Amino acid sequence: MASSLFKLSAVVANSSKNLRCVVRLMEKRDFSTTNVTARKEKDTMGELDVPDDKLYGAQTVRSIMNFPIGGIEERMPYPVIIAMGILKKAAAKVNVEYGLDKKLADAIMQACDDVISGKLYREGHFPLVIWQTGSGTQSNMNTNEVIANRAIQILGGKLGSKDPVHPNDHVNKSQSSNDTYPTAMHIAVAMELRDRLMPGLVALRDTLDGKAKEFDKIIKIGRTHLMDAVPLTLGQEFSAYVTQLTFGIERVCSTLPRLHYLALGGTAVGTGLNTRIGFAEKCAKEISNLTGIPFESAPNKFEALASHDAMVEVHGALNTIAVSLMKIVNDIRLLASGPRCGLAELLLPENEPGSSIMPGKVNPTQCESLTMIAAQVMGNHMACTIGGSNGHFELNVFKPMMVANVLRSIRLIGDGCQAFNKNCAVGIKANTAQIEKIMKESLMLVTALNPHIGYDKAALIAKTAHKEGGTLKDTAIKLGILTAEQFDQWVKPEDMLGPK
């Protein structure tokens, strides 16, 4: 398939039939030699055939020709296109104040609503991939062309005529790809954090908080260095997980002030050339009204175009959440290991058969899924870090890759937490009999004797008991260090759960 793509792209400029094959290949992932009715559209580099059933124009087709990379799986993320529709609608409304014909603006805004609803994305009018120009210019023009042609339809004009609505002069009025695409990045990420990440993360945190309270009275042995340690409650152990996720939520929230700054109004290099005074601020306010998120015009548009530290910061918070999830879920699956030959302190829901050869085996699949997600998010963070560190002069040109990775991490963590919460966390139970058995066998209960007999004698009891296979109590009595009454008085797990 890949070699065929390259062959097609090599001859596409000279053959409209092959161009149509490329278009179909990008959209449907297979070849279609059926002739597609085409119309002629022009950009500044010449005339091209455009499929007549699509609202995009020549610049979109040219991008399909030049970047046949990955196919439909690598399409520009859906939230970015929705965000582009939102910002274009806001700009059209504001531009009426600066001379844009209201009739054209109304048609543009109606077309934007079709973008925002997702209808035009689902119908294949946004076929471009992430791996294009690093400024997102082709996707900005894809959006301009689609909105312009949809507005032309609304007004009863001819597709591709750019009359009465022009993609650059009207839809892109007072804008540049260099400020619209980073604006879409911030809108898309902010909306997905609110709508996709937080519901899953908060639900899991709340479930684990409930488990911490439920397990508050269950005393178990702690472990450090994977070795036996002193007691704590299962609730205390779970409280650490709750706090990790609470801090993760707070970390995400702490990034929002920078994320809510919008680049729109900076145009090409941050100066605001070809805009009007007040345009940026009015657009930010309108975008806030459309999204319910308190966006503001970025105080420094040069920073907003040339760097994407806010994206790196957001993904840094996501990366930390991935680290937290990896630790939490690994603990849970280790504590649930067994059922006969592991720790088996926790009982997890049994959701599906775990082996194609071992009858009756059930595996911690929800844990495995979430740890794989955590690993992927950590990898995404490296890509975001590299992209963010490579903003050269007045423009960072890793924009599509960066936002795609941030959005993917949000989606994976949000969905992963929802699935883990529903299919595992809510059903976790404590195996109290096993917990009590293991705790009573632990040699580290000897730590309670330190204040009474000293560290060295306590160590002697523990080491002798371990060597001879005896209990702490019997060994202490045998060595003549303690009486049975003293041992029972001083070694009480329930008295070892906090400071005196």
Residues labelled catalytic: 225, 355
Beta strand 296-297 with 261-262: parallel, antiparallel or unpaired? parallel
Contact 162, 103 (CB under 8 A): no
Considering Cα of 380, then 385, then 390, then 395, what sign does the dihedral take? positive
Select from 136, 162, 137 the least CA-distant residue to 148. Answer: 162
The encoded tokens of residue 328 equal 């939490």
Contact 148, 162 (CB under 8 A): yes
Select from 181, 103, 110 the least CA-distant residue to 142. Answer: 181
The residues, ordered by sequence, that sit 6+ positions from 412 with a Cβ below 8 Å of its Cβ are 373, 376, 377
Q: H/E element holding 305?
A: helix 301-306
Q: Which amino acid is at 295?
A: F
Longest alpha-carbon distance in the chain: 102
Contact 249, 198 (CB under 8 A): yes
Angle at alpha carbon of residue 157, lines to 156 and 160, rounded to 5°: 140
The encoded tokens of residue 308 equal 């994407």
Angle at alpha carbon of residue 12, lines to 6 and 15, rounded to 5°: 145
Contact 394, 328 (CB under 8 A): no
**Torsion of Cα atoms, 417 then 418 then 419 then 421, to 10°:** 80
Cα separation, 478 vs 20, in Å, equals: 90
Give helix 177-192 / helix 399-423 axis angle, nearest 10°.
Answer: 10
**Other C-beta atoms within 10 Å of 468: how many?**
11
